[in-house]
């Protein structure tokens, strides 16, 4: 038993023991109690979901006293709190994670068994809150885990979307989107706080006047007001007492039924208003489609930002402070530009609502915010058309104009006559149709700007924020991403966790960067290598069974599992992977005796609903799978599968089952990647380009334990600027031509040569992401993979060294860096007395 839990059990501050105790007997009693009193159910008629809820409440009860103590610590001590503002939190299922962090997994399993329940089945019953698109949202979730584990007091602020990321089904090889009704069966992890609610203005106009002291005052007369209501989810750290808060806002009508409209008899109008208000938090938007023109998305961003800032201000004032010290107690991180309207909103609140003068307000604002950039792709760099912006946020536009004027005035002093520079730096893009540039707003309004991997941070400084870097280089940082080893190793890969722990103890779980390397000394231990191999085999078998159940596909756990799971996007180049599959297929057809290990190539990932080419690539993968898997000539040699509905929950089974991790983006395009880390931590070897965090992973694990290929970011840039011609690559490579020709001719589409024409043309005539240029070296690198896999001992040793050397990529390390470089916060332990 850990010390924390002992204290937890003994000092439950007057609470009933059956709410805090963790013996098997007590847990059994608590589950039955929750079934009866919270679920109004008896075992005879309880469904799986009833039992799931009873177990979930039992676990949640054990978090409560820690949660209350954490709030106590914040109230009593002078603690600087981190707020992580993010439009996405891809938390994944809570139940099993909370059991692990509490340290009651084994006891719970036993308690469930004694009640005749299979704990795993209950764990599987949980519908994950899919409140994010991919890496960015999942990073926010890993950061929440690490913040709590490091005992840094923090709040995650976001949106409680009614519909999160869609569920993906595959029909006839195409992606079909299904609405995600994650709240359908109830959500035991959240607590609604109807009394923590804030009004948010939208639209309308402003009126200016002078107050009695002669000061200039602006009043915003909104067209509409919506209310944001808080829903709180506790985020428990690993084996500590700190429980941080995830506070998500849900939109409601201000007062549903006593509107003027209703009073004057317009009952339907009043109800309509309620519906319009609720749409604000209705749905999660994709982050990889151009956002242009989406009025509702801007309203949504403003909505959650305004609620969050009002909440922080309320708390700040409640503690007896004045607004000019807000930044001393608050560090707010902007997770990409989605919440960057916060810069203008904090200025508005400080000036219009709390009567600070401009300069003080500006000092407070810029000392509060830090901004993390997550992409250089032009389509994801948010900019709002000026008329749309004015329509939703008229007061903020005025504030941004004022900010811009003052900012550009300073630039003018430094660079007299350099008008080009002024227009490049301006918060308003005036090169054609006018736009508000959100990345500029975030950069001007923050004291720190960072990228998410070394290469990416360098590119941020050299490209999109170059001018900002020149005027304030000290603002710029790098914080390489990380992922939590609790979810992505302990929870996902219990067998490997046990083996590692049996050799080096369990400190690595919370101190990966310091301890995981101790595993290196076992890389020559044959017995250990054998056990390692066995575990991989068991994980593959486990995943193969799930794949079979979901898709009907039979795959051989003794084949090389070659896996690419991530959002579908052309820059991630799932199609390069497909070209390798076709090439291998052609080689096997021509030479049945070809000496290559059997391979199973598995894909998974969602495409943005409006992204035609990404969806066509899914269809292509499934079409190729159809042909390859039914061709007796390659049976037992090559298989292809598309795993539907890739999400956090499915990820738990996928990463531990991989032999080979595909990280094959065009160099310079993947800001960091985090899937690359999850694979490698679970013993997969990486085939990858020098992109994002791949570079640092390769540095850590050693070049000899990594399959590298492709152009560097600099070479990509040079090739593009001298004029890239995909045709010349196509013509000079017979195998590439052959593979493309099969797709073009309709070989994979029952003779239909139209189906993949847009795909073929886009590669032949544009190939924006240099698939053809990297094809030869990718194929050659895959040959190296085959060679290495042929030698199981060598492969396993490489696998062990990958895991042993991945400690750097724990999100604990990332959070420490943010805490030191950017937030200036320190751990504050919570004691349960
Ligand atoms: C994504 C990048 C990934 C990165 C995650 C987390 C966006 C806008 N960006 O490379 O594409 O790992 O952010 O930083 O989703």
Write down the pLDDT at residue 13. Answer: 47
Question: Separation of 451 CA from ligand 1 center, angstroms?
Answer: 10
Marked catalytic residue, from 66, 487, 572, 805: 572
CB 140 near ligand 1, within 6 Å:
no
Give the mutation target among 672, 693, 697, 809 for probing the ligand 1 site: most ligand atoms within 8 A of CB.
Answer: 672
**376: Cβ below 6 Å to ligand 1?**
no
The two most distant CA atoms of the chain are separated, in Å, by: 92
Q: Which pLDDT belongs to residue 381?
A: 87
Alpha carbon 202 to its chain centroid, in Å, reads 29
Report the alpha-carbon distance of residue 600 to residue 436 in Å, rounded. 47
Ligand 1 contact, 694 CB (< 6 A): no
User: How far is ligand 1, taken at its centre, from the CA of residue 672, in Å?
Assistant: 6
Is 674 a known active-site residue? Answer: yes
Ligand 1 atom at minimal distance to the Cα of residue 452: 14
Q: Is the C-beta atom of 137 inside 6 A of ligand 1?
A: no
Task: Return d(Cα 434, Cα 673) in angstroms, integer.
Answer: 33
pLDDT in tens, 440-464: 999 999 999 999 999 999 999 999 9
Active site residue 294: no
Q: Is 833 helix (H, G, I), strand (E, B) or coil?
A: coil
Closest ligand 1 atom to Cα of 674: 12
What atom of ligand 1 comes closest to residue 692's alpha carbon?
Answer: 10
Q: Which atom of ligand 1 is nearest to the CA of 673?
A: 12
Of 567, 653, 805, 813, the catalytic one is 567
State in Å: Cα 101 to ligand 1 middle: 26
DSSP, residue by residue, 550-577: HH-----TTSEEEEEES---GGGTHHHH
287 Cβ below 6 A of ligand 1? yes
- Whose alpha carbon is nearest atom 13 of ligand 1? 136
pLDDT score of 260: 57
Residues 333, 380 contacting (CB under 8 angstroms): no
- Given the residues 678, 698, 808, 816, select the one marked as catalytic: 678
Active-site residue 447, yes or no? no
Q: What are 453-504's pLDDT values in tens digits?
A: 999 999 999 999 999 999 999 999 999 999 999 999 999 999 999 999 999 9
**pTM: predicted TM-score of the whole model, two decimal places:** 0.96
User: Which of the 8 DSSP states describes residue 656?
Assistant: G
572 labelled catalytic: yes
Low-confidence ranges of the chain (pLDDT < 70): 1-16, 256-265, 290-293
3-state helix, strand and coil shares in percent for the chain, rounded to the nearest 5? 55, 15, 30
Pocket test for ligand 1, best of 134, 666, 677 (most atoms within 8 A of CB): 134
CB atoms near residue 25 (< 10 Å): 12
| Residue 678 is among the residues annotated as catalytic for this protein | yes
456 CA: nearest ligand 1 atom = 10
| Mean pLDDT of all residues belonging to the chain | 95
pLDDT of residue 833: 75
Phi, psi of 504 (to 5 degrees): -120, 10
């Amino acid at each position: 038993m850990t010390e924390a839990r002992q204290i937890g059990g003994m000092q439950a501050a007057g609470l009933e023991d059956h709410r805090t105790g963790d013996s098997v007997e007590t847990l059994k009693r608590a589950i039955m109690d929750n079934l009866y009193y919270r679920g109004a159910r008896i075992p005879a008629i309880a469904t799986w979901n009833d039992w799931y809820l009873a177990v979930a409440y039992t676990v949640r009860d054990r978090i409560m006293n820690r949660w209350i103590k954490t709030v106590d610590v914040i109230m009593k001590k002078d603690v600087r709190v981190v707020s992580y503002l993010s439009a996405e939190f891809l938390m994944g299922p809570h139940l099993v994670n909370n059991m692990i962090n509490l340290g009651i997994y084994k006891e719970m399993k036993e308690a469930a068994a004694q009640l005749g329940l299979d704990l795993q089945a209950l764990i599987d019953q949980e519908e994950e809150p899919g409140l994010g698109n991919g890496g960015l949202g999942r990073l926010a979730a890993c950061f929440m885990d690490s913040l709590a584990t490091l005992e840094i007091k923090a709040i995650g602020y976001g949106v409680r979307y009614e519909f999160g990321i869609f569920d993906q089904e595959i029909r006839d090889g195409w992606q079909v989107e299904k609405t995600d009704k994650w709240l359908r069966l109830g959500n035991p992890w959240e607590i609604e706080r109807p009394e923590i609610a804030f009004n948010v203005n939208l639209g309308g106009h402003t009126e200016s006047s002078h107050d009695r002291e002669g000061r200039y005052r602006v009043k915003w007369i909104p067209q509409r007001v919506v209310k944001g209501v808080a829903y709180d989810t506790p985020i428990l750290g690993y084996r500590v007492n700190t429980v941080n808060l995830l506070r998500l806002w849900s939109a409601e009508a201000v007062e549903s039924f006593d509107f003027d409209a209703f009073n004057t008899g317009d009952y339907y109008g009043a109800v309509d208003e309620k519906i319009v208000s609720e749409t604000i938090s209705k749905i999660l938007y994709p982050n990889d489609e151009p956002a242009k023109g989406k009025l509702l998305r801007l309203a949504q961003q403003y909505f959650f930002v305004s609620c969050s800032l009002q909440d922080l201000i309320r708390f700040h004032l409640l503690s007896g402070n004045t607004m000019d010290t807000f930044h001393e107690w608050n560090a707010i991180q902007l997770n990409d530009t989605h919440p960057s309207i916060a810069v203008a909103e904090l200025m508005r609140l400080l000036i219009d609502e709390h009567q600070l003068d401009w300069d003080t307000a500006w000092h407070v604002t810029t000392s509060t915010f830090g901004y993390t950039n997550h992409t250089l792709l032009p389509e994801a760099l948010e900019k709002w058309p000026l008329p749309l912006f004015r329509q939703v946020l008229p007061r903020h536009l005025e504030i941004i104009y004022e900010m811009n004027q003052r900012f550009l005035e300073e630039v003018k002093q430094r660079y007299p006559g350099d008008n080009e520079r002024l227009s490049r730096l301006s918060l308003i893009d005036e090169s054609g149709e006018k736009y508000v540039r959100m990345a500029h707003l975030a950069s001007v309004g923050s004291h720190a700007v960072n990228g998410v991997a070394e290469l990416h941070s360098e590119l941020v400084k050299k490209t999109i924020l170059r001018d900002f870097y020149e005027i304030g280089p000290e603002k710029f940082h790098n914080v390489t991403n990380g992922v939590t080893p609790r979810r992505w190793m302990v929870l996902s890969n219990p067998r490997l966790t046990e083996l590692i722990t049996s050799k080096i103890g369990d400190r690595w779980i919370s101190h990966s960067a310091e301890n995981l390397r101790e595993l290196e000394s076992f890389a020559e231990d044959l017995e250990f290598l054998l056990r390692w191999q066995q575990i991989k085999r068991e994980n593959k078998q486990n995943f193969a069974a799930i794949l079979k159940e979901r898709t009907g596909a039979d795959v051989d756990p003794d084949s090389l599992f070659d896996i690419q799971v991530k959002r579908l996007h052309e820059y991630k180049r799932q199609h390069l992977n497909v070209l390798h599959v076709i090439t291998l297929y052609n080689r096997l057809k021509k030479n049945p005796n070809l000496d290559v290990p059997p391979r199973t190539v598995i894909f998974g990932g969602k495409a943005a609903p409006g992204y035609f080419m990404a969806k066509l690539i899914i269809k292509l993968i499934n079409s190729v799978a159809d042909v390859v898997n039914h061709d007796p000539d390659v049976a037992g040699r090559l298989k292809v599968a598309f795993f539907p509905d890739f999400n956090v929950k499915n990820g738990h089974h996928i990463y531990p089952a991989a032999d080979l991790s595909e990280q094959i983006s065009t160099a310079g395009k993947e800001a960091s990647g985090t899937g690359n880390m999850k694979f490698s931590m679970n013993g997969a070897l990486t085939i990858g380009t020098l992109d994002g965090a791949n570079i640092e992973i390769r540095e850590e694990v050693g070049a000899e334990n990594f399959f590298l290929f492709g152009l560097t970011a600099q070479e990509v840039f040079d090739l593009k600027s001298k004029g890239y011609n995909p045709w010349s690559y196509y013509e000079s490579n017979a195998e590439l031509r052959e593979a493309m020709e099969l797709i073009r001719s309709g070989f994979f589409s029952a003779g239909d040569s139209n189906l993949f024409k847009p795909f073929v043309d886009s590669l032949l005539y544009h190939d924006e992401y240099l698939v053809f240029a990297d094809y030869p070296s990718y194929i050659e690198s895959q040959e190296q993979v085959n060679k290495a896999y042929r030698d199981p001992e060598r492969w396993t040793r490489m696998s062990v060294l990958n895991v042993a050397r991945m400690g750097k990529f724990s999100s604990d390390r990332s959070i420490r860096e943010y805490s030191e470089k950017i937030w200036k916060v320190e751990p504050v332990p919570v004691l349960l007395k």
